[in-house]
Amino acid sequence: MSNFRIGFGYDVHQLQAGYDFWLGGIKLEHEKGAVGHSDADVLIHVICDALLGAANLRDIGYHFSDKDPKYKGIDSKILLKEVMILLRNEGYEVGNIDTTVCLQLPKVNPHIPAMKKCLSEVMGVEERNISIKATTTENLGFVGREEGVSAYCVALIYSK
Ligand SMILES: Nc1ccn([C@@H]2O[C@H](COP(=O)(O)O)[C@@H](O)[C@H]2O)c(=O)n1
Ligand SMILES: C[C@@]1(CO)OP(=O)(O)OP(=O)(O)OC[C@H]1O
Angstrom CA distances, 153 to 9, 12, 17, 67, 68, stand at: 5, 12, 26, 24, 25
pTM: 0.97
The set of residues, in sequence order, having a beta carbon less than 8 Å from that of 72 and lying 6+ positions away, is: 37, 38
Q: Kindly state if the Cβ of 92 falls inside 6 Å of ligand 2.
A: no
Would the annotation count 59 as a binding residue? yes
Looking at 55-147, which runs of residues are DSSP E strands?
A: 93-102, 130-135
Complex confidence, ipTM: 0.94
Q: What is the mean pLDDT of residues 114-143?
A: 98
For residue 134, the CA-to-ligand 1 centroid distance in Å is 5
pLDDT tens for residues 35-53? 999 999 999 999 999 999 9
What CATH number has the domain spanning 4-159?
Answer: 3.30.1330.50
Is the peptide bond preceding residue 106 cis, with omega within 30 degrees of 0?
yes
The predicted structure's pLDDT at residue 2: 79
Displacement of CA 125 from its chain's centroid (Å): 14
pLDDT at 126 over 70: yes
The predicted structure's pLDDT at residue 1: 55
Residue 116 and residue 119: Cα distance in Å, rounded?
A: 5
Q: Kindly state if the Cβ of 71 falls inside 6 Å of ligand 2.
A: yes
Would the annotation count 39 as a binding residue? no
For residue 20, the CA-to-ligand 1 centroid distance in Å is 21
